[in-house]
């Protein structure tokens, strides 16, 4: 049933193949869409985080700027001595200190009562130096460790501003610093980064202000993406990295010359650790198996009636009229079965018709044969009669005419095809008698019949053509001493009629084809006719059997069923 080109296999292969292609195509499309959707949301998320963080940092700086403005304003209205150590109201958790230095680096106004370290030269501090050279309203320093107070080393970013104030009717110039706790900004950057991404801050010269992996950068281990995204000043970009793509979003701060940059890996669906992939593959496999079983069941439903029909066609006996394709639930197979049944029925009818026609043909051939024999035979016999009468052989004339009349009486047995064996033998005897007289006793004959077959039926004109052959071709050429034995006997279920002569025999090449129905050989037409008539009437196991040896003789055995 599972041949490689059987319907079952083809259907299973095609359905499974097609459905797999369809499912995989759909899965890939959906996967791709989901992947890009997730990547899009990663980009959006990254951008959002960067905006939030930069807004927060901006607003921190904004606050510092406004604090510095307030202090500047206060300075313009109050004396520095008045204000010294009274700025504590401005200090908050995120503002470490506020100090105003004069142009010699001497502290003029401090925020609280903590005393500044004396061992540090303020004018050498980087923020002091850079404030003196700028024309900007204020400067934001990179994060650094502040060491204005003994034993305190906070991480701060410093807002530095040039300020002027009047004291003792003199105009003074100096620098105000506000130290803002950097840990808050650092926490913002840490907290703001998404699961795998991170935020870093650079300045407009692409120098890193803060990077969560700053230690590694100092140790020479640069995150590979840093060099690739260094030029991005604002907006988003997708940067290739060894482990896939990275979404990068940069947002410049409005209050400082810094750029907050967010880096987030765009892993798409792979962002979700276990991934839906395994379940997709399992679902596809399960579907493929379901389709496979479904198609096998379906093709079996189709193939079973077809297979039944196929084996019926292979083994059907047309003669056995009970065999037919059984009705089937499947419409197409049912129709096929019905057509087949109709065809078989038609073949059966045709076979019956052919058989009838053949029988009619044989019968008409027999008639033709009889019609041929009789005039010829009658002419020869009458010729012999005339010849005997001329020689005044009265007894012989009487004998031959009696035999002739008996012969014809026996052949007038009406339309019956079958006659008793004794009648057939009697007719042959009359024929032999006439021929013997004609051929002037060149041969003798002997007829014997078993008692139990005397009444058995035989086909009309069975022996006469055989005997005629024996006389004409067997012993006709001999000068004298020809013998013909005719016998009838039962052999098991068969009636056997045997004609034996001691004539010249038949050549083997002729003998081999003597019973074949070949219209091109006109010899022995009578024998063939007998053989065919018997087979047609009684079946293929019956008929003639010819044995012959050159110069020794020929035996023709006719086998017929014993009981008709």
Q: Can residue 198 be called a binding residue for another protein (CB under 8 A)? A: yes
**Which of 36, 79, 214, 356 is close enough to bind another protein by CB under 8 A?**
214
Considering the complex, state which of residue 25 and residue 289 has its C-beta at the smaller distance from another protein: 289
> Three-state SS string across 151-193, please?
CCCCEEEEEEEEEEEEECCEEEEEEEEEEEEHHHHHHHHHHHC
Q: How far apart are CA 477 and CA 48, in angstroms?
A: 129
Applying CB under 8 A, does 492 fall inside the site for another protein?
Answer: no
From the CB of 214, what's the least distance to another protein, in Å? 6
Binding status of residue 196 toward another protein by CB under 8 A: yes
> Residue 503 and residue 553: Cα distance in Å, rounded?
5
218 binds another protein per the rule CB under 8 A: yes
- Single out the residue of 266, 257, 267, 208 nearest to residue 234, CA to CA: 257
Given candidates 3, 118, 153, 415, which one binds another protein under the rule CB under 8 A?
153
| SS3 (DSSP) at 248 | strand
Report how far residue 301's alpha carbon sits from residue 11's, in angstroms, rounded to the nearest whole number: 12
Q: Does 227 bind another protein (CB under 8 A)?
A: no
Q: Is the dihedral of CA 421, 427, 433, 436 positive or negative?
A: negative
Site string for another protein, 123-152 (x = CB under 8 A): ---------------------xx-x--xx-
Q: Which of 72, 53, 65, 50 is nearest to 255 (CA)?
A: 65
Residue 93 interacts with another protein (CB under 8 A): yes or no: no
Rounded Cα distance, 193 and 196, in Å = 7
Token pair, residue 158, equals 């410093």
Choose which of 187, 357, 480, 547 interacts with another protein (CB under 8 A). Answer: 187
With CB under 8 A as the rule, give the number of residues binding another protein.
34
Give the shortest CB-284-to-another protein separation in angstroms. 10
For another protein, which stretch binds (CB under 8 A), given 268-276, 303-311, 381-389, 426-434? Answer: 268-276
Stretch that binds another protein, among 206-214, 341-349, 542-550, 555-563 (CB under 8 A): 206-214
Cβ-based nearer residue to another protein, 144 or 228: 144
Which residue, 149 or 408, is less far from another protein as judged by CB?
A: 149
Q: Residue 273 CB, nearest distance to another protein (Å)? A: 7
Single out the residue of 281, 382, 472, 550 in contact with another protein (rule: CB under 8 A).
Answer: 281
Contacts (CB under 8 A) with another protein, residues 308-347: none
CB of residue 126 to another protein, shortest distance in Å: 9
Q: Which of 42, 40, 148 is nearest to 98 (CA)?
A: 148
240 φ/ψ angles, rounded to the nearest 5 degrees: -75, 145
Give the CA distances from residue 129 to residues 124, 178, 257, 524, in Å, rounded to whole numbers and listed in that order. 7, 15, 18, 144
Binding residue for another protein (CB under 8 A) from 17, 235, 240, 275?
275
Give the C-alpha separation, 452 to 61, whole Å: 141
Q: Say how far apart CA 496 and CA 487 lie, in whole Å.
A: 8
Asked if residue 115 binds another protein (CB under 8 A), the reply is no
Tell me which stretch binds another protein (CB under 8 A): 100-108, 215-223, 327-335, 528-536. Answer: 215-223
Q: Does 285 bind another protein (CB under 8 A)?
A: yes
Closer to another protein by Cβ: residue 213 or 228: 213
- Applying CB under 8 A, among 278, 412, 440, 492 the residue interacting with another protein is 278
DSSP 149: B
Give 47-64 as a 3 state SS string. Answer: HHHHHHHHHHHHHHHHHH
Does 155 contact another protein by CB under 8 A?
yes
> Minimal distance in Å, beta carbon 109 to another protein?
25
Kindly state the smallest distance separating residue 211's Cβ from another protein, in Å: 10
Residue that is written with structure tokens 């100096």 in the block: 174
Gyration radius from the chain CA atoms:
65
- The DSSP-derived string for 72-127 is HHHHHHS-HHHHTT-GGGG-BTTEEEEEEEETTS-EEEESSSPPBPSSS-GGGSHH
Site residues for another protein, window 401-420 (CB under 8 A)?
none
Site for another protein in 165-184 (CB under 8 A): 182-183
Q: Does 212 bind another protein (CB under 8 A)?
A: yes
- For residues 61 and 138, is the Cβ–Cβ distance under 8 A? no
Please report whether residue 282 would count as binding another protein according to CB under 8 A.
Answer: yes
Minimum CB distance to another protein smaller for 132 or for 277: 277
Query: 563 vs 451, 494, 498, 531, 560, CA distance in Å?
Result: 15, 8, 18, 18, 9
- Give the footprint of another protein on this chain (CB under 8 A): 119, 144-145, 147, 150-151, 153-155, 182-183, 186-187, 196, 198, 212-216, 218-219, 221, 223, 270, 273, 275, 277-278, 281-282, 285, 289, 293
């Amino acid at each position: 049933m599972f041949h490689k080109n059987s319907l079952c296999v083809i259907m299973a292969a095609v359905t499974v193949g097609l459905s797999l292609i369809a499912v995989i195509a759909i899965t890939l499309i959906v996967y791709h869409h989901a992947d890009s959707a997730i990547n899009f949301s990663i980009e959006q998320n990254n951008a959002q985080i960067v905006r939030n963080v930069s807004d927060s940092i901006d607003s921190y700086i904004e606050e510092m700027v406004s604090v510095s403005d307030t202090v500047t304003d206060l300075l313009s209205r109050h004396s520095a001595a008045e204000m010294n150590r009274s700025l504590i109201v401005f200090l908050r958790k995120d503002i470490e200190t506020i100090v105003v230095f004069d142009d010699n680096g001497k502290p003029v106004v401090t925020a609280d009562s903590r005393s500044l370290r004396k061992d540090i030269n303020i004018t050498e501090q980087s923020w002091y130096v850079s404030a003196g050279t700028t024309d900007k309203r204020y400067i934001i320093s990179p994060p650094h460790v502040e060491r204005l107070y003994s034993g305190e080393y906070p991480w701060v970013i410093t807002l530095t501003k040039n300020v002027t104030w009047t004291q003792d009717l003199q105009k003074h110039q100096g620098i105000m610093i506000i130290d803002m706790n950097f840990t808050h900004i650092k926490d913002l950057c840490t907290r703001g980064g998404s699961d795998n991404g991170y935020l870093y801050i650079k300045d407009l010269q692409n120098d890193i202000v803060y990077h969560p992996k700053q230690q590694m950068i100092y140790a020479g281990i640069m995150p590979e993406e840093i060099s690739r995204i260094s030029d991005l000043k604002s907006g988003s970009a997708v940067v290739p990295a060894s482990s896939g793509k990275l979404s990068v979003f940069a947002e410049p701060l409005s209050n400082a010359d810094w750029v907050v940059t967010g880096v987030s890996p765009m892993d798409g669906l792979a962002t979700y650790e276990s991934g839906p992939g395994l379940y997709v593959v399992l679902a596809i496999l399960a579907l493929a198996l379901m389709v496979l079983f479904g198609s096998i069941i379906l093709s079996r439903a189709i193939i079973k009636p077809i297979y039944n029909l196929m084996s019926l066609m292979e083994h059907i006996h047309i003669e056995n009229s009970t065999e037919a394709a059984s009705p089937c639930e499947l419409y197409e197979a049912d129709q096929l079965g019905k057509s087949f049944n109709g065809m078989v029925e038609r073949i059966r009818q045709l076979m019956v018709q052919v058989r009838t026609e053949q029988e009619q043909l044989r019968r008409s051939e027999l008639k033709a044969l009889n019609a041929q024999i009789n005039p010829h035979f009658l002419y020869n016999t009458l010729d012999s009669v005339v010849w005997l009468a001329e020689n005044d052989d009265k007894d012989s004339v009487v004998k031959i005419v009696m035999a002739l009349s008996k012969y014809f009486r026996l052949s007038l047995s009406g339309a019956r095809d079958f006659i008793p064996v004794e009648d057939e033998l009697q007719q042959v005897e009359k024929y032999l008698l006439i021929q013997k007289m004609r051929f002037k006793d060149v041969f003798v004959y002997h007829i014997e019949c078993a008692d139990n077959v005397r009444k058995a039926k035989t086909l009309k004109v069975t022996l006469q053509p055989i005997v005629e052959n024996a006389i004409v071709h067997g012993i006709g050429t001999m000068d004298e001493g020809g013998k013909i034995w005719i016998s009838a006997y039962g052999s098991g279920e068969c009636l056997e009629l045997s004609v034996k002569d001691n004539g010249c025999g038949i050549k083997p090449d002729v003998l081999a084809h003597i019973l074949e129905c070949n219209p091109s050989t006109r010899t022995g037409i009578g024998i063939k006719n007998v053989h065919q008539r018997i087979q047609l009437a009684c079946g293929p196991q019956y008929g003639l059997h010819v044995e012959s040896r050159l110069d020794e003789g020929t035996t023709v055995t006719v086998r017929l069923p014993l009981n008709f």
